[in-house]
Amino acid sequence: MTTRLYYDDSDLMTFDATVVTCAPVDDRFEIVLDRTAFYPTSGGQPFDTGTLDDAQVVDVIDRDEAGIVHVVRAALAPGQRVTGTIDDARRRDHREQHTGQHVLSAAFERTGGVATVGFHMGGEVSTIDLAREVSAAEIDAAEDDANRVIREDREVTVRIVPEDEIAALALRRQPTRRGALRIVEVTGYDVSACGGTHVARTGAIGLVVVTGVEKVRGGSRLTFLCGVRAVRGFRERRDRLAEIGRRLGVAAADVGPRVARLQQDLRDAEAQGRDLRQALALARAVEWRAEAETMGAWRVVIRATELAGGDLSALARAIVAEPGIVTVLTGPGVPVPVVVARSADVALDAGAVLKAMAAALGGRGGGRPDLAQGGVTAEAPAIAAFVRGHLADVPIA
């Protein structure tokens, strides 16, 4: 079993150790040392990177009794002495995020009685899962309390506590492990069983900010940033807001009202567009009815248009608003959108006409006796020719 040097000293960045085993796996090697300062992925915290002599450590896995496995790209001989070097910036970032998580989770417990049921530290952001949904005001309250504790620069201590003394501790979460536990305590604020690497004082966290919240299985998942990540996150948001402000031609503080006005302008423009399309349809209906072909007792309007969907059927309705009219309109696209409609007094089944058209020319469609629509896989002239031939064969009542 590997001696975990990071348990006692989160500041230890270089160490000497002896290679116990080296196992080739695919194009990599799994190295177990007699002792290590490399933190393996566990408890929501990702592994440390760094080197064993010149070999880059690309993963660190906790195999419990089998020890801690360092995955490297070069073989190391069992019995060989190696120097391990931890990537300092990555470790410091993980310490800031992890202690920040303890403080933030304790803050939710203390300000709102909300338990943390999950923690994940990602490369960009970290998340905690809370046992219930929380309001924006509750998030603000917890965030404020956590930052107060950070500003107070409280001591963070780590100690091993024997099993029989665990019950006397006011642990924030009940431990899942038996035996002696590693206890991480933020003085006067939080007591947790945790194997992670932590900062020595809360001041090193710098700042904690909640950057997002989503509902997850009856609870909330909060995204948060601590330390350097919080500063970077603020900068990104500031720059993004400034960019939006520039595009809108207003100061960042005025972006909200400006967007609200643009939304209203868009709604107005859409309403105006609808009115204009309707007016155009009515004008066209009058013009096209005047130019209708006469077939028996009906006047027939067959036209190719640039319209589709609701606009096409609205125009057809406008055309058949007078008695004695049958209209067949097509739009652009493949298959060609087709609407067949007739006036209320015309004894013709528009749906049946469209079905016959689709059967003859290919495509599909259907609808009510007074209006039917579909798509036909033929050009507009072929559709017009079919309609003229078909209507000539229909007995007129």
Nearer to Zn ion, 196 or 374 (CB): 196
* Piece of 76-84, 188-196, 317-325, 342-350 that binds Zn ion (CB under 5 A): 188-196
Nearest-10 Cα torsion for 229, 230, 233, 234: -150
CB of 132 to Zn ion, least distance (A): 21
Residue number with CB closer to Zn ion (57 or 193): 193
Using the rule CB under 5 A, give the single segment among 143-151, 189-197, 237-245, 313-321 that binds Zn ion.
189-197
Of 195 and 219, nearer to Zn ion (C-beta) is: 195
Nearest Cα to Cα of residue 36 among 63, 59, 13: 13
Q: Which residue is nearest to Zn ion (CB)?
A: 194
Nearer Cβ to Zn ion (194/199): 194
Site map for Zn ion, 144-183, x if CB under 5 A?
A: ----------------------------------------
Q: Which is nearer to Zn ion, 190 or 349 (CB)?
A: 190
Enumerate the β-bridge partners of residue 222.
128, 213
Residue 4 CB, shortest distance to Zn ion, in Å, is 15
- Considering only residues 250 to 279 of the shown chain, the ones binding Zn ion according to CB under 5 A are none
Nearer to Zn ion, 41 or 85 (CB): 41
Q: Does 100 bind Zn ion (CB under 5 A)?
A: no
Query: Edge to edge, what strands does the sheet with 181-186 contain?
Result: 156-161, 181-186, 190-193
Indicate the residue among 194 and 346 with the shorter CB distance to Zn ion. Answer: 194
- The CB-of-156 to Zn ion minimum distance in angstroms stands at 11
Q: Between helices 227-248 and 88-112, what is the axis angle to 10°?
A: 80
State in angstroms the smallest separation of the CB of 184 from Zn ion: 6
**371-376, strands of its sheet edge to edge:** 293-295, 298-304, 325-330, 336-342, 371-376, 363-367
Q: How far is the CB of 105 from Zn ion (least distance, A)?
A: 9
| 340 forms part of the interface with Zn ion (CB under 5 A) | no
Number of residues that bind Zn ion (CB under 5 A): 2
Give min distance, CB of 107 to Zn ion, in A.
Answer: 15
CB of residue 229 to Zn ion, shortest distance in Å: 17
CB of 93 to Zn ion, least distance (A): 15
Given the complex with Zn ion, which of 72 and 194 has the nearer CB atom?
Answer: 194
Q: Binding string to Zn ion for residues 190 to 229, with x set by CB under 5 A, is what?
A: ----x-x---------------------------------
Taking the C-alpha atoms of residue 210 and residue 233, their distance in angstroms, rounded to an integer, is 11
Which positions lie near Zn ion, rule CB under 5 A?
A: 194, 196
